[in-house]
Every structure is written in structure tokens, then in C-alpha cells.
A and B are shown apart, each in its own frame.
Chain A
Amino acid sequence: MKHIALATTLLAALSAPAFAESDALLIGMATAQTGGLAPYDSPVVAGIRVAVDELNAAGGIGGNIMIELIEKDVRSDAAQTVIAVQELVDAGVSAIVLPCDADPALGAAGIVDQAGIPAISTCASSPTLPLIGGDYVFANFPGDNVQATVSAVWAFEQGLGNAYIIYSPDSQYTTMPLYFADVMKALGGTVLGEDTYTIGQPEFSAIATRIAALSPAPDVIMTSAYEPDFPSLLKALRAAGVTAQVIGSDGIDSPTTFSLGDVAEGVVFTTAGHPTPGSALETFNALFLAETGSASDTVFNAVGYDLIKVLEAAVLAAGTTEPKALRDAIAGLEGVQGATSLITYKGTDGMPVREVSLIRVTGGERELVGQPAPQMDLIPAPRMQ
């Protein structure tokens, strides 16, 4: 068995560069199929497959470059991500897809940088990822600081100027409320206080009780907690009698949020897109249903489709699948039509400019509040931790 495995690996390693040089784009997928990141990576990968199938069925990129995926499960582990990325580099891939979380993605940054192969994280939204990761690491999601700017401006314009934030220092993503607080203060609002929690914390009633006792009461509470913390926090707040507007982020763009009933009514959150009639996202959702047989229940599917669209545009712009040329092409992309929005890398440090949608939960359904363009001068600088 070992010999067969070894032979297969050798064969793959030997044959891969040959493919890459001819008319195939070899993409190495170092994503989490199991473990804590699987809930985020697997829907993105499903979207990637839909995009690849669509392109290959049409004869490949530009009608002649077929896409091939080499998939490795990184098991949500940083060390395993590094191993998988090294194997993919050795296999001669032209581009690499990294996990959704900034931390394992950063673990692999050194390898892709040295090998000169562009790498895109599936859905990490921390603006520090491409900053720390270097020239070869790109993100594929609206940045945390951009999302927080959009939601803070919206709250302030609604007259909700007394804010309270609840964040977790456990991950980059869950510190998004700190950006919200920065923007709120810059706008002239007040931040009444903040609370921290641990990801996976079983109980939020102590925090909720304390917020309920605050005077003056906050009129908006912002958090980037996601499942299972967000439902738990929201229920605790409402059960304690807190009626403030709650604002969340893309992590709660999931079926659970819409099935919470009355507690979730009126919750507003930022996310990567909304299927307005005639939009690219509506078209994608129809394609996803036709290809997979099940309806897309999260915007992360569309985000996967976006990633392949970015690589397609880069190959067309570069006219080659040579990794270094691809990297330069990605960095110069402007206005690529993805499923969720137009995507621009030109002029950024690798964190794309993308549209942010504000969604309100109304009667268990999503209602579009708006897709405002953030004021660039309000966006806080990435926070290094």
C-alpha cells in the first residue's frame, strides 16, 4: 500500500509540471475538510467546484486552459496546512487556495512566498492577512475593517450613537467590534463599554445581565460572534430584557440565524452579497442548484465561485499559468465580475475591494438594508495583534 501511495505521489509530482506548462491550470487546494474550519471551507470549496465545472464544460479558461484541482485536507490545523502547501508546491501548482482562517493561512505564507506561487484564502476577512502574508498572499472577502465601517455608519445614521461591543480576543475575526468602536468614535458616537467572551463559551447570561443593568442603556450592540456563540448571546440578551439593536457580521449569515424566531427579529449584519433580482448572485444560486441538486444556503458558496473567477481573470490577463505572472496579474485585477460583487485588487495590498451588503432579519427572511460603498477615509487601519 505504501509503495502504491509513494508511486502515485511520485507520478503526480512528475506529471504535474508537464500539465501546468501545457493547457491546464493546476490549483492546489489546501483547505479544511474536517475540523473546526470545515464549516467555512467546505461551502467555499463547493462553490469552487461549481465554477471549475462550469469553466471546464465551456472548454476551460479562454476556451483552452482546463482547470485541475489537487485537493488536500488540512484538518483545520496550522501545521498540517504547512505540510499540505509544501506538497502542493512540490506538485508544481500554479496557484494555491488557503483555509478560511488567517492563522493557518499565515503559517503557509512563507512557503508560497519563497516558491513564488500566489495563494488566496477561501474566506479569511482579517485585513492583516495579506499585510503579514507578503506579496503572494491574497484574501477573498470584504475586510473586517470595511464591514465594521459599513455597519457603524449605518447605525450612526439611524441615530444609534450609544454603542456597546462584545468581542473575543481568541481570533482575528472576532475582534471586528474593535474596528466598529473606532469608526463609531470617529463619527462622534459613544462607546459605552465592551465585553469579551471565549469562543465556544456555553453561557452569556452574566454578560447580558450586566448590559441590562447599564444606565444609560446602549442603543446598539455590535459583535462578530458566530455560531454557536451568537444565538446563545442573542437569546441571553433578549431574555435579560435588553432591547438594543444588535449588529453582527458575515459569520452569522447562516440558516440558524434565520430560524431563531422572534429573538432574531430586526438583527442587522454585514455580509458579502445579496441575491437581488437580476444580480450575479441570483444567477449563481440558480447554477448552484442545477449543478449540485441542493439550494445554496450560504453566501460562502458564491465566495468560492468568486475565487475561481479571480483566477480566471488573472490567467486571461497574464496570458499564461506561470505562477509569478499570475501573482502580478491578480494584483492588477480591477472590476472582476464575481457572483457576489465586482472585485478589485488593483491599488490594494491584497485585501480586495468588494461590495458589502447590510442584511436585516425580518420574519425569518433576509431583507436587504443596503449595499453602501464605505467612506474610504473612515476605514480603520488593519489592527496588528
Chain B
Amino acid sequence: MELILQQTVNAISLGGTYALLALGLAVVFSIMGMINFAHGELMTISGYVLMYCGILGVPFTIAVPLAVLAAMAAAVLMERIAFRPVRNASGATMLVTSFAVAMILQVLFQNLISPRSQPVLLPEYLSQSISVGGIFIGVNKLVAIVATLVMLFVLDRFMTRQKIGIAMRAAAEDFAVARLMGIRANTVIAGAFAISGMLAGVAAVLWVSQRASVDPLMGFVPVVKAFIAAILGGLGSLRGAVAGGFLLGFIEIYLAAFLPSGMQAFREPIGLSLVILVLLVRPNGLIPAATIRAQKV
């Protein structure tokens, strides 16, 4: 029983990080109809900010907001420089553009910073753990869970109470009509990228606090996980992305925890088969977007 509880805490923590990642992809997709595969590189940028802050002796509590801000700024810049010119192009064009942005950034990191992993100095308390009723909970896990909850709450408030948030939801439903109502496309899209950057930044801090290093190709795995989670949840649906993230986290942890050791080598294919199984039953994801066929601008 204790073991199940312990593994459930692990699953919530990993699922939370996946949820933040998937949300980052979903926010942009819901408005532009584009999967931004350079989302992972936003995380890498945050990681490098944490690394440089560590080298310069900037306290971690200041380094974290700086890292998140850097990802937000990078996301907005990315939209302005790379995605705005192809905004009205086909989905394939936007997809390829995002791959290109990811690759260009990776090569820049490799050549301008270092192809090797760089250590990120983290405060000792992040590596410690606390014991609650016989269950060990790592501080970084606790931080991940709390950060996920806070982010989800803030995002929900923003989307339902703030003018720009409401405008973004309107644009996600039908961009053409939203524009007729006087909503500025540039503002809404830049806002979506800023939010996706913020989510990438927070996810990056959680990711890096786990691995304590940053390398040029760091963004690849998380963006793939986010993509799977977003599809699982229902592409373009924000609540779906959260659900997909948590489900993927639970699948991965429970398989790693409870598959017999002879089957462990097949953990990944089994996990992905489960994802496919879910999609067979719910082809549009767990919580499909309200307007799957809505025209994207």
C-alpha cells in the first residue's frame, strides 16, 4: 500500500511537469493551429539562464524568475521573427518552420555555449526529501506538484477573468469572428506565445532541478512527451492537455513501478500502446477541443 502511495506521488509529480509542457503546446495550437516543436528549446534557454545565474552567484530565488522571463521573451521573439511571416501559410509550413527554429537554436547552443553538458548549481534543499507517514517525498517533487497547481490556477484565472485571456479563448474558438469583434490578432498570438514561454520556463526549472545539467539537445525529450500528452488529451484543448499530461505521467510511472522485471525492457512500447488504445476509444483525445474544425488563422 505504501509502495502504491509512494509511486502515486511520483506519478503526480511527473504528470504535473508533463501537463505544464503539454499546456504550453496547446495554448499556441489552439490559436494558430501549429505545434511548436521549438518549445523544447525555450526550456533549454531557461536552463542556460539557470546555469549562468549559478556561475555568477545569483541566488536561486532570483534565477528562477529570470529563467522564466527569458523563456517568455524568447517565445515572443520566436513568434515575431520566425512564425509571423508564415502565419497564413499551411500547417505543414508552420510545422517545418518550428523544426527549423529548433535546429538552428540547437546548433547555436552547441557552437556558442558548448556541445557538452553544463552543470547547473542547485540549492541543496532541492535534493533532500521529507518523510510523511512513512512516505519519502523529494523536495523537488513537492515543488513540482505545487508549481503545477499554482500555474494551473493562475492560467485558469487568466483565461476566465482577464480581457486578453477571454480574447484568446474567443480566438481559439473562431479567429475570424473574434477579429471581426475587434480583437487584434497580433496581440492574441503574442500573448499565447508569452504564456507558452512562461509554461516552458516553469517546466524547465522543474526539469533541470531533476537532472542538474543543461545541454544543447535538452529540449528534445520534453517536447516529444508534451506532444504525446497533448494528442492524448485532445489537441488544442487546454483542459485536455492537463489531463493528457497527468495520464501520461501515471502510465509511465506505474509501468516502471509494477511491470515484472522481464517486461521492463518493453516499458516504452507498452506505454505508447496504451496511449494508442486510449485514442482508439477517444480519437479526438480525452477532452477534445470545443471547435476541432474551427478555421485557424
B210 adjacent to A254 (CB under 8 Å): no
Identify 7 new A-B residue pairs, CB closer than 8 A, beyond the known A194-B261, A203-B14.
Answer: A35-B217, A195-B264, A206-B252, A206-B254, A209-B7, A227-B211, A232-B211
B211 adjacent to A231 (CB under 8 Å): yes
Bound form: Cα–Cα A228–B213 in Å: 7
- Whether A236 contacts B138 in the complex (CB less than 8 A), given A34-B110, A254-B117, A256-B212, comes out as yes
The segment from B83-91, B119-127, B154-162, B190-198 that touches chain A is B119-127
Contact of A206 among B17, B128, B216, B257 (CB under 8 A): B257
- Name B's interface SS: helix
B121 to chain A, nearest CB (A): 6
Nearest 9 CB-CB pairs, A to B?
Answer: A239-B138, A206-B256, A38-B115, A228-B211, A259-B119, A205-B10, A256-B119, A239-B129, A231-B212
**Which residues of A sit under 8 angstroms from B216, Cβ to Cβ?**
38
B82 is an interface residue with CB less than 8 A from chain A = no
**Which residues of B sit under 8 angstroms from A240, Cβ to Cβ?**
129, 136, 138
Contact of A200 among B139, B221, B252 (CB under 8 A): B221
The segment from A109-117, A178-186, A260-268, A305-313 that touches chain B is A260-268
**Which residues of A sit under 8 angstroms from B264, Cβ to Cβ?**
195-196
A213 is an interface residue with CB less than 8 A from chain B = yes
- Whether A202 contacts B127 in the complex (CB less than 8 A), given A209-B10, A213-B3, A232-B211, comes out as no
Using C-beta atoms within 8 Å of the partner chain, give the interface range for chain B: 35 or more
A205 adjacent to B13 (CB under 8 Å): yes
Bound form: Cα–Cα A125–B99 in Å: 33
A268 to chain B, nearest CB (A): 19
Interface code A228-263, partner B: CB below 8 Å = 1, 0 otherwise? Answer: 110110011011110000000000001110111111
Which partner residue on chain B sits nearest A38 by CB separation?
B115
B124 adjacent to A206 (CB under 8 Å): no
A231 adjacent to B14 (CB under 8 Å): no
Bound form: Cα–Cα A42–B111 in Å: 11
B128 adjacent to A239 (CB under 8 Å): yes
B190 to chain A, nearest CB (A): 30
Within 8 A of B (CB), among A21-51: 33-36, 38-39, 42-43
A262 adjacent to B116 (CB under 8 Å): no
A210 adjacent to B257 (CB under 8 Å): yes
Bound form: Cα–Cα A232–B206 in Å: 12
B215 is an interface residue with CB less than 8 A from chain A = yes
B70 is an interface residue with CB less than 8 A from chain A = no
A62 is an interface residue with CB less than 8 A from chain B = no
A191 to chain B, nearest CB (A): 12
Bound form: Cα–Cα A203–B257 in Å: 12
Within 8 A of B (CB), among A261-287: 261-263
| A interface list, Cβ under 8 A from B | 33-36, 38-39, 42-43, 169, 193-196, 198, 200, 202-203, 205-207, 209-210, 212-213, 227-229, 231-232, 235-236, 238-241, 254-256, 258-263, 298
**Which residues of A sit under 8 angstroms from B267, Cβ to Cβ?**
196, 198
**Which residues of B sit under 8 angstroms from A198, Cβ to Cβ?**
267-268
**Which residues of A sit under 8 angstroms from B122, Cβ to Cβ?**
261
User: Could you jot down 6 A-B contacts, CB within 8 Å?
Assistant: A39-B215, A193-B261, A205-B138, A229-B211, A235-B212, A258-B119
Which partner residue on chain A sits nearest B252 by CB separation?
A203
B10 adjacent to A43 (CB under 8 Å): no
Contact of A42 among B6, B116, B221 (CB under 8 A): B116
**Which residues of A sit under 8 angstroms from B261, Cβ to Cβ?**
193-195
B225 is an interface residue with CB less than 8 A from chain A = yes
B115 adjacent to A42 (CB under 8 Å): yes
B210 adjacent to A203 (CB under 8 Å): yes
B253 adjacent to A263 (CB under 8 Å): no
A259 adjacent to B115 (CB under 8 Å): no
B115 adjacent to A39 (CB under 8 Å): yes
**Which residues of A sit under 8 angstroms from B210, Cβ to Cβ?**
202-203, 231-232, 235
Bound form: Cα–Cα A42–B113 in Å: 13
A295 to chain B, nearest CB (A): 14
B107 is an interface residue with CB less than 8 A from chain A = yes
Bound form: Cα–Cα A228–B222 in Å: 13
- Whether A256 contacts B117 in the complex (CB less than 8 A), given A206-B256, A239-B138, comes out as yes
Bound form: Cα–Cα A135–B8 in Å: 53
B287 to chain A, nearest CB (A): 24
Bound form: Cα–Cα A262–B129 in Å: 13
A72 to chain B, nearest CB (A): 16
Contact of B127 among A43, A193, A194, A261 (CB under 8 A): A261
Which partner residue on chain A sits nearest B18 by CB separation?
A202
